[in-house]
Amino acid sequence: MKIINLPQPFKDALPILEKLRDAGFEAYFVGGSVRDTLLNLPIHDVDIATSAYPEEIKNLFSKTVDTGIEHGTVMVLDHGTGYEITTFRTESTYQDYRRPDKVQFVRSLDEDLKRRDLTINALALKTNGEIIDLFGGLKDLDKHLLRAVGVANERFHEDALRMMRTVRFASQLDFKIDNETLTAISQNAALLSKISVERIRVEWIKLLIGKNPRAGLEDFLKTKLYMYCPLFELKEAGLEKIKTIPNLKLDNEEQCWTLIATCFELTAEEAGQLVHAWKCSKELKMNVTKAKKAVEAMLANELTPYIQYLTGRDMLEVACRVVQLINITDYTSMSVMLAYEGLPIKSRKDLVVDGNVLRQFLNIEPGPQLGKMLIQLELAVVNRKVRNEKLALLEYAQKLIVK
């Protein structure tokens, strides 16, 4: 029997579990936070599973929110923290491979754990620190193995997103996928087309920014899951290319998509279409398009467009990182990046004058004129036409007005 010391977030939630227990119900910590604790990883949300039905939970606690009551989840607010409490449930009646179409509440923990995706996610933690492990999850954690609970085929038929979750965990935790589970993913990959793009995207980005994206990508390609992702069908070579990048360490979604677009050899416009197809926000689409243009400019060693994009500077940083990632050895492109590194300022925020100072000194109203002037000052400093010193900048700005 394994007993662990409860980390603070669990200790904070103990009164909630105790209240449920005092009322005659069972209550356990479950899900990702239990897994991550055993892996010594930081934990985010503490999930609680209980034998109490949603109405019973609501009757016990004074502050609750129905976050997903149809699936048995009620949020209990306690000292400013929200805890998701979910009634034990089975979902044997999935029909659309997406979401349980008829959740059945049950009173048994075993039934609840049985319907979870992977053995490492099917552990429960008691208030005394004891781990309940019905499917060999602890052994799999030790072996760094991702294995479906019970019959893999059934787990993926219940919810096809679980296949993406599995390849995501392969990267995020740097774990191997068990052979039978991997075969089941290959056999059922087409079911992914039933899943909403938004949900797939969350897993895809977590895969790319994970600990071992190459391993995740390898499984994503091998199982052919990529064929059921928007606009990826004919891009096996581009995805393979990402796999070959040394020191692939991505840290945000903009970098991910800019790199993907570069490896897919897309134009900036096509990059925009790609992220649109993946249902990214308008802002993300705009940023990726900009960053992709900046990558092109850098690869073509055209300093002028590069400077033009200074106003979207964050995107330039993304672009620089992407160019680094694709390992540009071409001297001229490197020199463009170095030029960027050596710029007198790296952002408009680095200017020693801001809009307020300009307004007071030049006696102009806030509005587009002021914004334009700041851009002009930024470009003048970057192009070394004027030094980033207060007096010099104000004089330069004065001349801009006279012009």
Ligand X SMILES: Nc1ccn([C@@H]2O[C@H](COP(=O)(O)OP(=O)(O)OP(=O)(O)O)[C@@H](O)[C@H]2O)c(=O)n1
Binding residues for Mg(2+): 45, 47
Between residues 17 and 122, which has the closer beta carbon with respect to ligand X?
Answer: 122
Smallest separation (angstroms) from ligand X to the CB of 165: 6
> Among 237, 220, 238, which residue's Cα sits nearest to residue 229?
220
Distance CA 265, CA 244 (A): 15
Contact 171, 213 (CB under 8 A): yes
Smallest separation (angstroms) from ligand X to the CB of 11: 19
Stretch touching ligand X by CB under 6 A, among 101-109, 124-132, 157-165, 374-382: 157-165
Smallest separation (angstroms) from ligand X to the CB of 33: 7
Examine residue 117 and tell whether it contacts ligand X (CB under 6 A).
Answer: yes
Binding residue numbers: 32, 35, 45, 47, 116, 159, 162, 165, 168
Between β-strands 47-50 and 27-30, what pairing exists: parallel, antiparallel or unpaired?
antiparallel
Distance CA 158, CA 207 (A): 22
Strand residue runs (E) in 151-293: 176-177
Examine residue 150 and tell whether it contacts ligand X (CB under 6 A).
Answer: no
Examine residue 148 and tell whether it contacts ligand X (CB under 6 A).
Answer: no
Contact 311, 287 (CB under 8 A): no
Task: Using CB positions, name the residue nearest to ligand X.
Answer: 32
Distance CA 119, CA 152 (A): 11
Strand residue runs (E) in 283-358: none
Distance CA 369, CA 52 (A): 62
Smallest separation (angstroms) from ligand X to the CB of 21: 22
User: Of 235-294, which residues contact ligand X (CB under 6 A)?
Assistant: none
Examine residue 31 and tell whether it contacts ligand X (CB under 6 A).
Answer: yes
Smallest separation (angstroms) from ligand X to the CB of 86: 9
Examine residue 116 and tell whether it contacts ligand X (CB under 6 A).
Answer: yes
Sort 296 into a burial class: Cβ within 10 Å, 0-12 / 13-18 / 19+. middle
Distance CA 135, CA 333 (A): 53
Between residues 109 and 397, which has the closer beta carbon with respect to ligand X?
Answer: 109
Binding residue numbers for ATP: 32, 35, 116, 159, 162, 165, 168
Between residues 171 and 289, which has the closer beta carbon with respect to ligand X?
Answer: 171
Stretch touching ligand X by CB under 6 A, among 117-125, 223-231, 304-312, 317-325: 117-125
Of the candidate residues 20, 49, 57, 161, the single one contacting ligand X (CB under 6 A): 161
* Tokens matching residue 58: 């609501």
Examine residue 159 and tell whether it contacts ligand X (CB under 6 A).
Answer: yes
Distance CA 358, CA 364 (A): 8
Our CA angle for 77, 83, 89, nearest 5°, is 125
* Tokens matching residue 338: 């170095």
DSSP code, position 29: E
Examine residue 181 and tell whether it contacts ligand X (CB under 6 A).
Answer: no
Stretch touching ligand X by CB under 6 A, among 72-80, 161-169, 284-292, 363-371: 161-169
Q: Report which secondary-structure segment, H or E, holds 248.
A: none
Of the candidate residues 121, 166, 262, 289, the single one contacting ligand X (CB under 6 A): 121
Examine residue 162 and tell whether it contacts ligand X (CB under 6 A).
Answer: yes
Largest CA distance in the chain: 81
User: Of 74-113, which residues contact ligand X (CB under 6 A)?
Assistant: none
Examine residue 213 and tell whether it contacts ligand X (CB under 6 A).
Answer: no
Stretch touching ligand X by CB under 6 A, among 156-164, 227-235, 374-382, 392-400: 156-164
User: Of 33-62, which residues contact ligand X (CB under 6 A)?
Assistant: 47
Smallest separation (angstroms) from ligand X to the CB of 23: 24
Between residues 33 and 64, which has the closer beta carbon with respect to ligand X?
Answer: 33
**Four-point Cα dihedral 129, 33, 116, 187, nearest 10:** -140
Smallest separation (angstroms) from ligand X to the CB of 292: 29
Helices (H), 23-130: 32-38, 54-60, 109-114
Distance CA 248, CA 242 (A): 8
Residues near ligand X, by CB under 6 A: 31-32, 47, 116-117, 121-122, 159, 161-162, 165
